[in-house]
Amino acid sequence: MNAYFKFEDIAGKITRGLAGFCLMVVFVLFLLNISTRASFITWNPTWIDEVIQFFLVWMIFLAAAELVRTGEHFLVDIITDKLHGTASGRICRLIATAIMLVTYIIILYFGIKLCIRSNIKVTFTLPHVVKMSWFYLCIPVATFFMVIYAIRDFYYAIADVITGGKITVKLDEMKAKAKAEDEDAIAIEKAKEALKQQENQ
């Protein structure tokens, strides 16, 4: 279980980092595109729009995978909130996580098929070595992580039904403990830095 938590933490850092990088590229290219059109500069390459689209779709799908990991994605939780802590609520959560898992698997399957089919197509403005499959690759990559996170949620939902909700309580305690350990480690590093500064003075 600890190995999985480490994997999830690393995957989260990677997806957040890549999504942030894509956002930065989109922002810079948008700014460049607008500034060249609104000024006397005649340089206005046609490939900018396509590159923006590329990084934009990758940013969206990677960010969506991270939202699924943290449980902050869009969902309708009226019923599950009302039934929270009850046997009906646990069964409802099991059904919801099963639907999510099946949905992500379907998207992953058709995303892979789309990438394979579009591998023979090239982009309109970029060099012909850039295939359209590079654009669509964000779908199977992001949904692969979504499937892993959905399996995690489905496993916890099954365990909750079997144990009567004890697994969720235990998981929350483990997360709280890990968070406290991280905060302690940060506090120790800050104390070391402060001590070094005092010694240098």
> Quick one: DSSP state of residue 122?
B
pLDDT in tens, the chain (201 residues): 667 778 888 888 899 999 999 999 999 988 887 777 766 666 666 778 888 888 999 999 999 999 888 887 777 667 767 776 777 778 888 888 899 999 999 999 999 999 888 887 777 667 666 788 888 899 999 999 999 999 988 988 888 888 876 666 666 666 666 666 666 667 667 666 765 666 566
Residue 70 domain-assigned?
A: yes
Residue 172 domain-assigned?
A: no
Q: What's CA 86's distance to the chain center, in Å?
A: 30
Residue 66 domain-assigned?
A: yes
Residue 190 domain-assigned?
A: no
* Range of the structural domain that residue 7 is part of: 2-164
Q: Are 154 and 101 in contact (CB under 8 A)?
A: yes
Residue 148 domain-assigned?
A: yes
Res 33: pLDDT? 79
Q: Which amino acid is at 20?
A: G
Contacts of 63 (CB under 8 A, 6+ apart): 15, 19
Listed residue (144, 12, 4, 10) closest to 69, CA to CA: 12
Dihedral sign for Cα 189, 195, 200, 201, please. Answer: positive
Q: Distance (Å, rounded) from C-alpha 166 to C-alpha 173?
A: 11
**Position of tokens 């001590």?**
195
Q: Are 133 and 115 in contact (CB under 8 A)?
A: yes
**pTM here?**
0.73
Token reading at 151: 């399996």
Res 65: pLDDT? 92
Q: Distance (Å, rounded) from C-alpha 70 to C-alpha 179?
A: 14
Residue 177 domain-assigned?
A: no
Res 155: pLDDT? 87
Token reading at 96: 């919801």
Q: Distance (Å, rounded) from C-alpha 159 to C-alpha 154?
A: 9
Domain tally, the chain: 1
Residue 94 domain-assigned?
A: yes
Residue 96 domain-assigned?
A: yes
